[in-house]
Structures are given as C-alpha cells and as structure tokens.
Amino acid sequence: MEIYEISETEFYIDKCRDYWTDFAERKGRSFRFCVVTFGCQMNERDSEKLCGILSKMGGVATTEERQADLILYNTCTVRENADKRVFGRLGVLKSIKEENPDLLICLCGCMMQEETVIEKLRKSYSFVDLIFGTHNLYEFAPLLWTRLDSGCQIIQIWKEAREIVEDLPVKRKYAFKSGVNIMYGCDNFCSYCIVPYVRGRERSRNPKDIIREIEALAADGVKEVMLLGQNVNSYGKGLTPAVDFSELISEVEKVDGIERIRFMSSHPKDLSDKLISVMASSKKICRHVHLALQSGSSRLLERMNRHYSKEDFLSLVDRMRTAMPDLAVTTDIIVGFPGETREDVDHTIDVIEKARFDGAFTFVYSKRTGTPAASMPDQVSEDFVKVEFDRVLQTVQRVASDQAKRFTGQVVPVLVEGVNEKDSSMVTGRMSQNHSVHFPGSPDLIGQIVNVHLDQCLGFYYIGSRA
C-alpha cells in the first residue's frame, strides 16, 4: 500500500483558498460550509478531516444549511433507511439551490460506493456538484478545485483503496477528546453487511504513525481517544514487524496526557484473552466494550457468517466480566434476519438475560443489495418482525435499566463534555462505562475529569453531585 503525499492536498487547498478569498471579497464575508454526517464513528472522524480541509481553505462552519455556501453530506449505507434519508434531504437541497444557484452540494461516504446510487444521482440529481467515495476522501481538495475551475459536475469513485493517508488537516468536534483511525475496511463479510464492499478490505495503519498522532493530540489538550476501526480486534494483520491490537493499545497507554482510551468496534471472534488481560490491568482503558451479538441463535449466527456460537459469545462475556466486574458491555442486535423464527428470538432474549447487556442498538434487518442475505429465499414478514422486535427491545430496556442501577451511590470519575441541554446550571459527562451523568456545575469544568457521587439512577443515566 502506497503512502499518499500530503503536499498534493496542500497544493489544492491553496488554490481553493485563493478562490474563496476572492469570494469573500465579493460577499464581504468568509465562505460558510455545512458538513452533515450520517452513520458511524468512522464517518464522524472522516467528517472532522473534511472540515479540517475546508477550514484551511478559509471556510467557517455552520449548522444552518440555508446559510451555507457549500453543503457536504458524508453518507452511510449500512441500512436502507440511511439511503432514504439522504435522498429525502437532497430534495430539500434542490429547493435551497434554486434560491441560491451559487450553492455547492457535495456527497461522499459509503453510500456513494454503490453503483445503483451513482446511476440514480447521474440521472435525477444533476444539481449535485461533487460526488466521491470512501477510498478517495483525501482527494477532496483537488476534486473541489476541479469543480470550482470547470463549473461541471465531478464524480470520482474508486472501487478500492490505493493509499494510506497520514497528516490530513482535522477540525475536531471536541477539544478534549478525539477519534483515531487505526485501520480501515473489513474482511469479515457477514452475510447481511455491505461494509466490506463499500469500505474495502482491511488495512492497518503503522503503529508509529498512530502513536505520533495520539502524542500530538495529547499535546493539544486531548484527554480521551477512541481507537476506530470496523473491527479493531483484528488490527495488525499483514504488518511487519507483527503487532496486534492488545500490543498497540498498551503502547497508547504510555502516551503522557492521555487519561482515557476507548475503542470501537469489536468483533467477538477476534477479542482475545490477551486483550482482556491488558484491559483488566489498565488504569486508562475505559471499562466499556461494545461487542456486537447480532443474534443469540447459533443457527442464525452461522448463516450470518459470524464465526462464533451462542455459547462462544456467552463464554467471552463471562471471561470479561470475571476479569473486570465493573465492565459495561453494550451490543448490536438484528431482528428479522432471513429464516429467523420465534425460537431463534428466544435464544437472543436468553443471551440478553445472561450477558446482562448495559445497552443495545436493536435494528430491524435491512436488506442490502449485493449481500448474500439479500438473496436468501426465506425473508420474514413485517408482522413477525414487529412482534419479535418489541419482545427483544423490552428485554434490552429492562436488563439495561437494572444494570445501570448497580453503580448508584458510588463515587466515579466523569469526563465533563458540555453544559446540560435542559438545565444550564448543570453539566453532562460520561463515566468510564460510558453512562451519562448530569450534575450541578459550570462551563469551566468542560474537558475536565472530576469525581462525582452518583445520587440517583433514572433508567439509563445518572443524577449526581460533586464528590
């Protein structure tokens, strides 16, 4: 895998900056951009890089689409509903552009890697100015310049990644915490999932580059990092010299200034006992693991190509909880996978009860064209899905509520993330276990880790007081 020369991006950032400087002189203000992110933490991190590039061009961020001179949607395609949301919002953008013909509309991300989406955009959405995919995000500056210079619609989609990109500009959402990509792509090919087809095969970053980035973040005041990948537990495959995820996270722990380490996402088949041991002995790695179950039925797990059984999953959770009794485990669950029966759902509910999940994202199965599951003959009915989804959701909510209560009365460190949205006399932060805590405080606490007494548990969050 080649290393992209960042100087090319810098060259085109300068050319775009000259364009936007002329624009600012004509308008009497800086150009405004609005980046809207759909999807996962990986997309959020990609959007920070896109915002960084636009900021270096002289742009000012806005959340108001009607005030923007450039709108960029960073899309997701994991579920059909995500595609529908984007197309629905494009209809609104068309009307905005009719009022403001100078508006630039850009689309990128996973959804753009689907050929049917590109065909639809070419045919019916000619007002979109720039379209690119997941593999050439770092080409944003040269692509934008090409659009500005030519005035023509630009579409550039690569079917696979060509380079590993380091040192792109970044404009972080938070001053005190940051995501850090450690790898890209996925090799798992779960039968329901479109991600390997749109994100490509696994590519791990060099550990020295990762540590260098985290050291720079720490020097800039970041206290918490989240290591990001489609499956962080498989990090390091193909690297020379060999290094695995547990070794990488041990090195991250040595970085001065970093006080908390999180990671996402984890695949159960690759979460090793070595990693559990590293986590259990760590003072920085947060006591939270997001471990996607998807189904509690071993029969369905095999059809999903997940490479573990119900018993394997429960054994893994048991080993983690034995090593770390205060660990919070959250998960993903799919209801309505082809061929699912009520007995299969019973197995899922059984796992929820035994694993004692602290939370779960519960989804209705979404057929994604091009995946093996989409062509399975035994698709289930909507009536079945509605009944069984409600059963699963009720179990998740009951178990998660019971789990949360176990910390009531304790004093725990909380990273303060902002002023409470409903009561400005309070601030909101997160425990190591990722639970939200609201307590009296002032804005000067934002970005600090403070000790809080958990006075009361209200379902899935806490009301606390300074300890």
The boundaries of every CATH 3.30.750.200 domain in the chain are: 287-405
Nearest Cα to 106, choosing from 82, 86, 85? 86
The domain 174-266: what is its CATH number?
Answer: 3.30.750.210
Question: Does the pLDDT value for residue 310 go beyond 80?
Answer: yes
SS3 content of the chain, % helix, strand, coil (to 5): 40, 20, 35
The boundaries of every CATH 2.40.50.140 domain in the chain are: 408-466
- CA 289 to CA 286: how far, in whole Å? 8
- CA 284 to CA 258: how far, in whole Å? 8
pLDDT in tens, 369-401: 889 999 999 999 999 999 999 999 999 999 999
Q: Quickly state the pLDDT bin for 5 (edges 50, 70, 90).
A: low
Percentage of the chain lying above the pLDDT 90 cut: 87
What is the CATH topology of the domain spanning 287-405?
A: Transcription Regulator spoIIAA (3.30.750)
- CA 192 to CA 22: how far, in whole Å? 49
H-assigned helices in 100-172: 115-124, 140-150
> pTM of the full predicted structure?
0.90
The CATH architecture that domain 2-163 belongs to is 3-Layer(aba) Sandwich (3.40)
The boundaries of every CATH 3.30.750.210 domain in the chain are: 174-266
| C-alpha distances out from residue 128 to 30, 91, 107, 123, 147, Å | 22, 11, 8, 11, 11
The boundaries of every CATH 3.40.50.12160 domain in the chain are: 2-163
Q: Quickly state the pLDDT bin for 7 (edges 50, 70, 90).
A: confident
| The Cα angle at residue 439 between residues 434 and 442, in degrees rounded to 5 | 110
Letter for the amino acid at 29?
R
pLDDT in tens, 142-161: 999 999 999 999 999 998 87
- CA 371 to CA 189: how far, in whole Å? 9
pLDDT of residue 1: 44
**Contact assessment for residue 196 and residue 185, using Cβ atoms and an 8 Å cutoff:** yes
In the predicted model, what is the mean pLDDT of the chain? 94
Facing residues of 328 across strands? 288
What is the CATH topology of the domain spanning 408-466?
A: OB fold (Dihydrolipoamide Acetyltransferase, E2P) (2.40.50)
Place of tokens 């050291």: 215
Interacting residues of 457 by C-beta distance below 8 A, sequence separation 6+: 404, 405, 407, 408
**Contact assessment for residue 254 and residue 223, using Cβ atoms and an 8 Å cutoff:** no
